[in-house]
Amino acid sequence: MKNILRKYFGFSNFRPLQEEIVIAVLKKKDVFVLMPTGGGKSLCYQLPALKMEGVTLVISPLIALMKDQVDALKVNGVQAEFINSTLTAGEIREAKERVLRGEVKVLYVAPERVAVGGFLEFLKKVNISLIAVDEAHCISEWGHDFRPDYRNMKSLKKNFPKIPIIALTATATKKVREDIVSQLNLPDPEIFISSFDRSNLNLRIVKKRNSFPKLLDILSDYRNESVIIYCFSRKDTEKLSADLCVNGYKAAAYHAGMENKKREGVQDLFIKDEVNIIVATIAFGMGIDKLDVRLVVHYNLPKSIEGYYQEIGRAGRDGVSSDCVLFYTYADVQKQLYFINQIKEEKIKRQAEKKLKRVVDYGETSLCKRKYILNYFGEEYNKENCESCESCLGDEELFDATVVSQKIISAVIRLEERFGLNYIVDVLKGKNIKLIRERGHNTLSVYGVVDDFSVEQLKEIVKSLINKKLLQRAEGDYPVLILTNEGRKFIKERNTIWLPKPEKEEVEKSWISRGDLDYDAGLFEKLRSLRKSIADEMRVPSFVVFSDVSLQEMAYYTPLDLKSFKKISGVGEKKLDTFGEDFLRVIRSYAKENNLESKEIDNAPLKVKKTAGETYNKTKKLLEKKMSVEEIAVERDITERTVISHIEKIVKEDKMIDIDHLKPAEDVFKEIEEGFQECGTERLKPVYDYLKGRYNYNDIALTRLFYEQ
């Protein structure tokens, strides 16, 4: 099997659990596989399909994905076909004839076709060796994406009792897993549950205020990268994609209301890298099998953790570090609740409400985001710091929130724990609202007692008190705020509390964490250009030729002959014969021009060198030209504070870099130095306060760079 893996797919080793699953399938056992997106589920049935006699039947609801998967298999030298509603009657007839002649090893079909009498009779004439049910969670009404057509899968065991079934899904709770096994009538399946941990995904929450400028700020570092942005409605996708185009981005909307031809056209442009940003509805499951998506943004709140995790799973499927950003506001909850309230069946409605509450908890928790998601799926995560979510990486500035917390909790008590967050904030801010006057709440001692925080900042502080378990939202249709025992203890004992300082009313630069091979960027771009021209000529997506990971390895190892080139990850025999010389020609030419030598390649997994990433390298090059912080900010169209944050990271990685031209004047340095001696270097705010605001945060941050040397 390892020889077949290398020959057809170009990989030397299995990913976790793949080998065990393949062995179980070859023993003709029924199998259930739970493996996150990007974990290599497809290989679990594609690989044994090449070893077993006959045809492997793959049932998948992602019609848009089938052609890409079949194209990718064909490029690897595997005989594959698909049959779905996008084909003409003649094309379907031709595909069936090829199957009956034994010219196909893997056949993809849509679930609704399985129930059609004539098609079922056709399948009974076929020598089927294995049935793979992909996206198996669609069969369960407890899942996040239940599809009635999947109920047809119940008859598979009855019609093909001796043929093993492998059911695969990326997201399923314990209850959904049990339901899938039951619905498919699998009597005693082997169950494989892979870790849900996608360690290459960086998780971040952005407060949804000034959202469009923040989005532009984030996207500025992804101009040539593939990005998916999820929105709540079709109208939102069209407006946002249009706004992005006006701002110079190549973006397109993608939703279920579009004509099939137009939607396929948009998808084709995205896959061929002619449009790099797709703006899609959350409700519409995009069948995009693109390995090099570097950023997934949820512009609105998803309706479940399962759906959210599947959607962010479309980032970094090639294993390269990629970013996932969720724009969070509690106001989006009301939009989701509106549609949940349209559900007539009470049981399903309550289930949807519970799922939405878990998304809200995720958005508001200050704990590790990775740990929260893994725990949701029943997986323990024991690391104290995941080093790739905003909770673990964030340099949060704390402030003494004792007084404002006392005011908030007092307001909850005075209002008899009968009102929600917005109303309580309105009372604390002294809003002249009719309801407040009618209820007499404008006469309370807590009315208008908070004037040092804005409405939004006050809401953030309230949410922090919920995170600290001093307050909680009551269950039910109206999430009123009530006091916890910890909250009562806080008030009674007059304890001190420090909370994250609420965000200022300004756009902040996005946090980005990248980790890639320390490859030659110039060679990588030349290889990427060659890949695109070949892909365009073949009319297939770029990643079908080679993934970004393969190109990065080529640009790192610089193989100069076919023997070395064959050792690159993703280079199987078919691709070696088809593309080897074309890519080697580019590599040899570039190596000669730039005096590069080939590096020895072994089959050990590559060790990834953590680098500051492309955005930091751009800043570093300008820094080496002795440009000032202000000049770099203008040149790169980013804020001065962002430039300084780049410099802080660059200095940590390269102790030899010369930044003496940035050192503040001696008198300024000495004053700020005194502030660090008194207050320490961990946080800037105490130093700013100690110096009574005589120097801004940028001056203080720059001084810290030299003070800590």
pLDDT digits (tens, 9 = 90+) for 603-629: 544 433 333 355 677 788 888 888 888
Instruction: Quickly name the fold that domain 521-594 has.
Output: DNA polymerase; domain 1 (1.10.150)
Q: For the residues 191-220, what does the mean pLDDT come to?
A: 86
Spell out the domain ranges in the chain: 2-193, 201-393, 398-500, 521-594, 614-707
The 3-state DSSP composition of the chain as helix, strand, coil percent (nearest 5) reads 50, 10, 40
The overall longest dimension of the chain from CA atoms, in Å, is 89
* Phi, psi dihedral angles at 108 (to 5 degrees): -95, 135
Burial class from Cβ neighbours inside 10 Å (0-12, 13-18, 19+) for residue 97 reads exposed
Reduced to 3 states (helix: H, G, I; strand: E, B; else coil), residue 354 is helix
CA distance 546 to 528: 9
Mean pLDDT of 504-515: 37
pLDDT in tens, 207-216: 887 788 889 8
Nearest to 517 by CA among 569, 595, 592: 569
Chain mean pLDDT for the chain: 83
Lookup result for tokens 């709770």: 173
Q: What does DSSP say about strands 398-400 and 498-500: parallel, antiparallel, or unpaired?
A: antiparallel
DSSP 573: H
Q: What SS3 class is residue 130?
A: strand
Specify the higher pLDDT residue, 611 or 201. Answer: 201
Residue 15 CB coordination number (10 Å): 16
Cross-sheet strand order for the sheet of 55-59:
80-83, 106-109, 55-59, 128-133, 165-169, 31-34, 190-193
Question: What is the rounded CA–CA span in Å between residue 319 and residue 321?
Answer: 7
- At 474 the pLDDT is 81
Range 201-393: architecture per CATH? 3-Layer(aba) Sandwich (3.40)
Q: How many residues does the chain have?
A: 709
Beta-carbon contacts of residue 272 (< 8 Å; ≥ 6 apart): 532, 535, 536, 541, 542
C-alpha distance from residue 699 to each of 631, 662, 683 (Å): 15, 10, 14
Do residues 355 and 301 touch, judged by C-beta distance below 8 A?
A: no
**Cβ–Cβ < 8 Å for 367, 384:** no
- pLDDT given for residue 654 in this prediction: 65
* 614-707 homologous superfamily: ATP-dependent DNA helicase RecQ (1.10.10.1390)
Query: What tokens does 239 get?
Result: 């407006």
Class of residue 199 by CB neighbours under 10 A (exposed 0-12, middle 13-18, buried 19+): middle
Helix (H) or strand (E) segment spanning residue 698: helix 697-707
**What is the per-residue pLDDT across 263-280, written as a single tens digit (0 to 9) for each?**
878 888 888 888 999 998
Neighbours of 133 (CB within 10 A): 27
CA distance 520 to 126: 50
Q: Is 198 helix (H, G, I), strand (E, B) or coil?
A: coil
For 28-68, the pLDDT digits (tens) are 999 999 887 766 888 999 999 999 989 999 998 877 678 87
pLDDT at position 562 over 50 = yes
What pLDDT sits at residue 607? 36
| pLDDT the model gives residue 96 | 92
Strand residues in 332-409 grouped as ranges (E): 398-400
pLDDT at position 514, please? 27
- Judge: domain 2-193, CATH 3.40.50.300: yes
Model confidence pLDDT, tens digit, residues 657-688? 778 888 888 888 888 888 877 777 766 777 88
Q: What is the pLDDT of residues 152-163, one digit of tens each?
A: 788 888 889 999
Average pLDDT of the segment spanning 87-100: 90
Query: Which of 324, 370, 336, 375 minimizes the C-alpha distance to 173?
Result: 375
**With a threshold of 0.75, does the pTM exceed it?**
no
Give tens-digit pLDDT for 309-350: 888 888 888 878 889 999 988 778 877 888 888 888 888 888
Residues 478-501: pLDDT tens digits?
Answer: 678 999 999 999 988 888 888 888
CB contact at 8 A, 165 and 30: yes
Same fold, 398-500 and 614-707: yes
User: Distance between CA 37 and CA 200 in Å, rounded?
Assistant: 12
pLDDT tens digits, 410-461:
999 999 998 988 899 999 999 888 889 889 999 999 999 998 888 888 988 9
For residue 320, the number of C-alpha atoms closer than 13 Å in the C-beta half-sphere is 23
Give the separation between CA 551 and CA 229, rounded to whole angstroms. 26
The CATH code that applies to domain 398-500 is 1.10.10.10
User: Whole-angstrom distance between the N-terminal and C-terminal Cα of the chain?
Assistant: 54
DSSP 131: E
The residue whose two tokens read 């096994």 is 181
